[in-house]
Chains A and B, each alone.
Chain A
Amino acid sequence: MTILLYLVPAALGLGLLALAAFMWSLRNGQFEDLDGAAYRILNDDDVRKE
């Protein structure tokens, strides 16, 4: 059962990483415009023409 000593902290660590990533995105306003983001991906203005 010593394997638990590695697996449990690893699982918790990965979870915390995701939590931290979410907090970061919340603070950066990624959740401010949920409707617009869905359409922006279709917008090609930023594609450089060859």
Chain B
Amino acid sequence: MHLDLAIEGISSADAIAVIERALSTIPGLTHARLNFTTRRLSTEWIKSSFNPSPAILTLENLGYRVAPFTSDDQESEEDRYTRWLLRCLVVSGFAGINVMLLSVSIWAGNVTDITPETRDLFHWLSALIALPAAAFSGQPFFYKALRALRQGDMTMDVPISIGITLALGMSVYETAHHAEHAYFDSALMLIFFLLSGRVLDHAMRKKTRSAAANLAALRIPTASRLDIDGRISEVPSDALITGDKILVAPGSRVPADGVIEFGTSQIESSLVTGETEPKSVTPGDLVFAGTLNQNGALTVRVSASGSRTVLADIENLIDEALTKRSRYVQIADRVARLYAPIVHMAAALTAMAWIAIGATVHDALVIAIAVLIITCPCALALAAPVVQVITAGALFRKNILIRSADMIERMAEIDTIIFDKTGTLTLPEPSLIDASSLTPAELMMAGRLAVSSHHPLARAICEAVRETGSILTPYPEAQEITGSGVSCLIDGVEARLGHPTFCNVPAPIWTDNRSYIGFRYGENSGLIFVGQKLRADAAQIINALKARRYRVLILSGDHDRVVKDVANHLKIAEWHSAMSPKDKRDFLTHLKDKGHHVLMIGDGLNDAPALAAATASLSPATGADVTQAAADAVFTGKTLAPVLDLLLLTQKGRRVMVENFGLALIYNLNAVPLAVFGYVTPLIAAAAMSGSSMIVALNALRARRADGMSS
């Protein structure tokens, strides 16, 4: 029995040994191997004693986060394609080397004393290797070229396929007529260089994709369903149907839209609407999927799912936005549309000119085909993909996972940046804001009590205490009372942390949009305030963005006063509050219509339509699933620095890409006259083609870093 686990929290290679050693004692587990590239653990189990819980517990105790993982169809499809590309690459490489071996002998022989019979033999041998190898390894280009032609489109694959086919066809013809020159090696080398670019591209994408899929697997939401016989079962939220009764514990997210049957609580819906102020709910009230239940246990009856839910409305808006987004034409395709007609025209003119000045039709055609071979856009086709690979790799190291390669070009054009507030400018989880009514020793105690709690606000206290450098160990006797808090006897005195009534602390009169937790230790008591806190480097990054002449705005679904505070603090002059998802999208579309290129950064469901409508979009990895799906890139971590890095690296990437096209064109400008006047031999073609491809690939390495990047 096989089980894959996605593992988060691996920071060094020691994890391979640590994890595999720890799992070696788990009963029923026969084999565990960690894939360090994809951060997934593959395990084999004896079918009769399959029980992964102890294994998962062991890993969680080691400090890793673990989730069962099944790769989706799209991912395994892409994996198969990558392996196929690699196979094509290796075949073309093998054949290329062997044909080159024969070609070098011929070139050396042509200037010394090779006999025509030996040369013919070598040419036929080359054909024997090259034809089947090219037919196999050229498939990725042939298929794509056919598809493009059928759609009346022009991509680089078309001139590539024509070049390869003509080179092989002419070589066979020339060989049959005992000619001196054949281009078998050129055709194979062309395929090899182009495929190596694509293989690298797919390998990079595989890495970012599996990282993104792992993040998703760790977040698969489950729900506690109350069955008719009174038992509670844990089911994936997707499996809930209308009429199901679910229990929502304090501190967990509501798994589905529904009506409260029993219980009262405060609901915080920042991930859905952007509002940070919790709302009180009582039986009969509606609650929405994705909102956070703060302090009371709720029994919820799942209501009609489908078209009436908030989620469905948002998805409609996203679809609308996506259909409106004009398809962006990548630089490479724009170049291809110009390039192919020009070189084909040049080749035709060359043939006609040679015939006009008295060359035989055969000689004129050979020269014209040589023009096509030498202009076959090897360096040109590599120019963009190699840069995309390097840029995507650099972004990956800066904690940014990109979804599509063409976003690099779109991102580089940005002039306006729109931030959502909650979870984007602020940290996604609540943080400790004020604990001044507690002594440091009491705060430490509160931290140790908080470790035993499952409530999200308790986590904020743990984080704050850990940041002071202390190590938190839970009190062994600590008891969590769901809905109230944690209590424990410390040195014979009772300590409590939780709801103010539970701790017998009067609730504050003025909360200022913050949540609070009570604390009591014997006679001493106090309140700890918890709320949204700006990311530590937010002001610095916003300043850096403004210094680079970006127009920066805030669009938030939250209340006026809260947004104003944040905007003032970050010195952002343009801000709008209480925006609905549709308002956000319309605002953005309006900006785009005026000719601005807009980057939207947001995490909430309410941001998703705007993300889909933007020129380019970015979402924190803590955002809602739907939101991440609508974004071009996802960033992880607690800082805002990835935003600046993303812009700098994509701009650098685009600049290098344009340089690469320039270099490739310079090569063509030099090579074409040689070919037109009939000076190109297979040796010159081979040297020029590999030379230009190398230069383009080496230049792409410059995209690894950009000035002003975070260190």
**B36 adjacent to A36 (CB under 8 Å):** yes
**A34 adjacent to B37 (CB under 8 Å):** yes
A50 beta carbon closer than 8 Å to chain B: no
Mark interface residues in A5-49 (1 if CB within 8 Å of B CB, else 0): 000100110011011001100100001111110111011010000
In whole Å, how far is B254's beta carbon from the nearest beta carbon of chain A?
Answer: 39
Docked pose: A46 CA to B194 CA in angstroms = 41
CB-contacts of B61-106 with A (<8 A): 83, 86-87, 90-91, 94, 97-98, 101
User: Quick one: which of B35, B94, B121 contacts A15, CB cutoff 8 A?
Assistant: B94
Cβ contacts under 8 Å, A40 to chain B:
16
B216 beta carbon closer than 8 Å to chain A: no
Please, which residue of chain A has its CB at the minimum distance from the CB of B35? A33
Please, which residue of chain B has its CB at the minimum distance from the CB of A40? B16
**A12 adjacent to B34 (CB under 8 Å):** no
In whole Å, how far is A17's beta carbon from the nearest beta carbon of chain B?
Answer: 10
CB-contacts of B34-49 with A (<8 A): 34-38
Would A19 and B37 be within 8 Å (CB), given that A1-B118, A8-B125, A39-B13 are in contact? no
B129 beta carbon closer than 8 Å to chain A: yes
**A23 adjacent to B36 (CB under 8 Å):** no
Cβ contacts under 8 Å, A34 to chain B:
37
Cβ contacts under 8 Å, A15 to chain B:
94, 97-98
**A35 adjacent to B37 (CB under 8 Å):** yes
Docked pose: A23 CA to B136 CA in angstroms = 14
Cβ contacts under 8 Å, A43 to chain B:
16-17
**B36 adjacent to A35 (CB under 8 Å):** yes
Docked pose: A38 CA to B94 CA in angstroms = 26
User: Quick one: which of A11, A12, A36 contacts B35, CB cutoff 8 A?
Assistant: A36
Size of the B side of the interface (Cβ < 8 Å), in residues, is 23
State the main secondary structure of chain A at its contact with B.
helix
> Which of B94, B97, B129 is packed against the most chain A CB atoms within 10 Å?
B94
Docked pose: A15 CA to B91 CA in angstroms = 10
**A39 adjacent to B36 (CB under 8 Å):** yes
**B37 adjacent to A36 (CB under 8 Å):** yes
B20 beta carbon closer than 8 Å to chain A: yes
Cβ contacts under 8 Å, A45 to chain B:
17, 20-21
In whole Å, how far is B118's beta carbon from the nearest beta carbon of chain A?
Answer: 6
Please, which residue of chain A has its CB at the minimum distance from the CB of B82? A31
**B87 adjacent to A23 (CB under 8 Å):** yes
Please, which residue of chain B has its CB at the minimum distance from the CB of A12? B98
Docked pose: A29 CA to B191 CA in angstroms = 25
Docked pose: A43 CA to B12 CA in angstroms = 13
In whole Å, how far is B399's beta carbon from the nearest beta carbon of chain A?
Answer: 17
Would A11 and B101 be within 8 Å (CB), given that A19-B90, A19-B91 are in contact? yes
In whole Å, how far is A11's beta carbon from the nearest beta carbon of chain B?
Answer: 7
User: Quick one: which of B21, B37, B118, B121 contacts A32, CB cutoff 8 A?
Assistant: B37
User: Quick one: which of B21, B34, B98, B101 contacts A36, CB cutoff 8 A?
Assistant: B34
Cβ contacts under 8 Å, B98 to chain A:
11-12, 15
Cβ contacts under 8 Å, A31 to chain B:
86
**A23 adjacent to B37 (CB under 8 Å):** no
In whole Å, how far is B109's beta carbon from the nearest beta carbon of chain A?
Answer: 11
**B20 adjacent to A12 (CB under 8 Å):** no
User: Quick one: which of B20, B90, B101 contacts A22, CB cutoff 8 A?
Assistant: B90
In whole Å, how far is B631's beta carbon from the nearest beta carbon of chain A?
Answer: 26
Would A33 and B38 be within 8 Å (CB), given that A1-B118, A11-B98, A18-B94 are in contact? yes
User: Quick one: which of B21, B37, B87, B90 contacts A33, CB cutoff 8 A?
Assistant: B37
CB-contacts of B359-383 with A (<8 A): none
**B16 adjacent to A36 (CB under 8 Å):** yes
Cβ contacts under 8 Å, B20 to chain A:
45
Docked pose: A18 CA to B118 CA in angstroms = 27
Please, which residue of chain B has its CB at the minimum distance from the CB of A43? B17
In whole Å, how far is B116's beta carbon from the nearest beta carbon of chain A?
Answer: 13
Docked pose: A8 CA to B36 CA in angstroms = 42
Cβ contacts under 8 Å, A23 to chain B:
87, 90
Cβ contacts under 8 Å, B125 to chain A:
8
**B129 adjacent to A26 (CB under 8 Å):** no
Cβ contacts under 8 Å, A8 to chain B:
125
In whole Å, how far is B114's beta carbon from the nearest beta carbon of chain A?
Answer: 10
Docked pose: A43 CA to B24 CA in angstroms = 15
In whole Å, how far is A20's beta carbon from the nearest beta carbon of chain B?
Answer: 10
Docked pose: A1 CA to B122 CA in angstroms = 12
Mark interface residues in B1-34 (1 if CB within 8 Å of A CB, else 0): 0000000000001001100110000000000001
Docked pose: A16 CA to B94 CA in angstroms = 8
Docked pose: A35 CA to B37 CA in angstroms = 5
Would A33 and B36 be within 8 Å (CB), given that A12-B129, A18-B94, A26-B83 are in contact? yes
Docked pose: A12 CA to B335 CA in angstroms = 39
In whole Å, how far is B1's beta carbon from the nearest beta carbon of chain A?
Answer: 19
Docked pose: A26 CA to B90 CA in angstroms = 11
Please, which residue of chain A has its CB at the minimum distance from the CB of B83? A26
Mark interface residues in B541-585 (1 if CB within 8 Å of A CB, else 0): 000000000000000000000000000000000000000000000
Please, which residue of chain A has its CB at the minimum distance from the CB of B17? A43
CB-contacts of B148-168 with A (<8 A): none
Docked pose: A4 CA to B118 CA in angstroms = 10
17 A–B pairs (Cβ distance < 8 Å), ordered by A: A11-B101, A15-B94, A15-B97, A18-B94, A19-B94, A22-B90, A31-B86, A32-B35, A33-B35, A33-B36, A36-B13, A36-B34, A36-B35, A36-B36, A36-B37, A39-B16, A45-B21
- 5 nearest interchain CB pairs? A36-B36, A39-B13, A33-B35, A35-B37, A19-B94
Excluding A19-B91, A39-B36, 12 further A-B contacts by CB distance (< 8 Å) are A1-B118, A15-B94, A15-B97, A22-B90, A26-B90, A32-B38, A34-B37, A35-B36, A36-B13, A42-B13, A43-B17, A45-B17
